[in-house]
Amino acid sequence: MQTKSTIKDIAKQLGVSTSLVSFVLNGKSKEKRISDEMTAKVLKVAKKMNYTPNYLAKSLRHGKSRTLGLIVADISNPFFATMTRHVEIEASKYNYHVILGNSDENLSKFSNQLKVLKNGQVDGFIITPPHGSEKEIIELQEQNIPFVIVDRIFNIPNTHSVMIDNHKSSYKATERLLANNRKNIALINIIPELIHMRQREEGFLDALKDNGINVNHSIIKHLDFSHQKDVLMEAIKDVIQKQADAILFTTNKLGLMGVECLKELNVDISNKMSVISYDDPIAFKVSYTPISAIVQPIEQMSKDAVRILMNTIENKYNGDIIENIELEVDFIFRASCK
């Protein structure tokens, strides 16, 4: 295993001062009038000698670790996997690294990950907190730790957030299903205690009511977070038995497994059952019947979250400026809902 070198090792190898090497590695060559030739030499030797910055030591000297904590609800969900990638890309533009945590919508796990990352002296957090985590969010505020909530909303004052218009997106998706002459539309949802999931249900219900459709509560299903396929299969069998002619899935993980279930049950998607789901994983495009999707702007959500967090870390907000961004979604209508 190759030993990691220090700034002192690099300086000794080049016969220059440690301060010169430090200036180059911290991007201050032009500020300190170090020639391009010397800068290139330092960077080349640093790479050759396997130099890795000690971020904790730098944070003790400069007051910042240049790391962000990102805690998502479910990294196996393509939505959060994509978000993680975009947050990493955006954070790197600010010369920041990202440490990832995965809560599985579990409050205890979320709380523990916050503690671990706080002890690791991250400069701030981007979080998708689980239901019941108000206490942890308020503690972040009381400790003056910068954070941004993404894909969630909590009734806590003075919290930055980035999300979509959940009610409107679900409302429009339901109207599209109605336009397909569907009258008995099922909703398959998770954890209605989460405000954004409740908003998706409310958008669905309002669209039905505004279009004169009686709500069939027996085909509105609220599943727990485990996303066990056998549980979902039973829910789908039940809505089929109750003559549902369309399904709106409120997460892409539900949608992905739901389409698998429908296929295994030999349900004719499009002709017998219209389907729309949130997000647009690649499987929706290549499914035996391509699936219509409510496409969240994940890249823009990630960019806004990092920007807000960096502004907070750098104290760029004057007074009581709080950003609560609500973005619009796109719709891609495919064969499952023509």
* pLDDT(176) > 60: yes
Classify 202 as helix, strand or coil.
Answer: helix
User: Do 105 and 73 form a contact (C-beta atoms < 8 A)?
Assistant: yes
Q: How far is CA 93 from CA 21, 57, 271, in A?
A: 22, 21, 48
Instruction: Give the span between the Cα atoms of 244 and 152, in whole angstroms.
Output: 30
Residue 133 token pair: 């985590």
* pTM score: 0.78
Sheet containing 97-102: order of strands: 97-102, 67-72, 124-127, 147-150, 160-164, 324-327
Residue 3: per-residue pLDDT: 59
1 falls in which pLDDT band (50, 70, 90)?
very low
Query: Bridge-partner residues for 327, per DSSP?
Result: 164
Q: Where are the beta strands (DSSP E) in the chain?
A: 67-72, 97-102, 124-127, 147-150, 160-164, 185-190, 220-223, 246-249, 274-278, 292-295, 324-327, 330-332
Contacts of 12 (CB under 8 A, 6+ apart): none
Percent of residues, the chain, with pLDDT higher than 90:
67
Half-sphere exposure of 166 (CA within 13 A, CB side): 21
Q: Is the dihedral of CA 108, 63, 146, 70 positive or negative?
A: negative
Q: What is the helix (H) or strand (E) element at residue 229, kind and residue range?
A: helix 229-241
Phi, psi of 162, deg, nearest 5: -135, 125
Residue 131 token pair: 């239901």
- Please provide the average confidence, as pLDDT, over all residues in the chain: 90
Instruction: Give the span between the Cα atoms of 76 and 323, in whole angstroms.
Output: 29
What DSSP assignment string belongs to 101-141?
A: EE-TT-HHHHHHHHHHHHHTT-SEEEE-PPTT-HHHHHHHH
Residue 308: per-residue pLDDT: 97
241 falls in which pLDDT band (50, 70, 90)?
very high
* pLDDT(167) > 70: yes
Residue 7: per-residue pLDDT: 84
Residue listed under structure tokens 């070198």: 5
338 falls in which pLDDT band (50, 70, 90)?
confident
What DSSP assignment string belongs to 243-254?
A: T--EEEESSHHH
Longest dimension (CA), the chain: 82
Phi, psi of 72, deg, nearest 5: -105, 165
* pLDDT per residue as tens digits for the range 57-89: 554 455 678 899 999 999 988 899 999 999 999
Instruction: Give the span between the Cα atoms of 106 and 73, in whole angstroms.
Output: 8
Residue 219: per-residue pLDDT: 97
Contacts of 331 (CB under 8 A, 6+ apart): 172, 173, 176, 292, 293, 294, 295
Residue 62: per-residue pLDDT: 53
121 falls in which pLDDT band (50, 70, 90)?
confident
Least confident of 94-98, 119-123, 196-200, 252-256: 119-123
Phi, psi of 7, deg, nearest 5: -60, -35
4 falls in which pLDDT band (50, 70, 90)?
low
- Quick one: average pLDDT of 138-162? 92
Residue 224: per-residue pLDDT: 84
- Quick one: average pLDDT of 314-331? 89
Residue 210: per-residue pLDDT: 97
* pLDDT per residue as tens digits for the range 253-301: 899 999 999 999 999 998 899 999 998 878 787 777 899 999 999 999 9
* pLDDT per residue as tens digits for the range 25-56: 877 788 788 998 998 899 889 888 887 665 44
Q: What is the helix (H) or strand (E) element at residue 204, kind and residue range?
A: helix 195-210
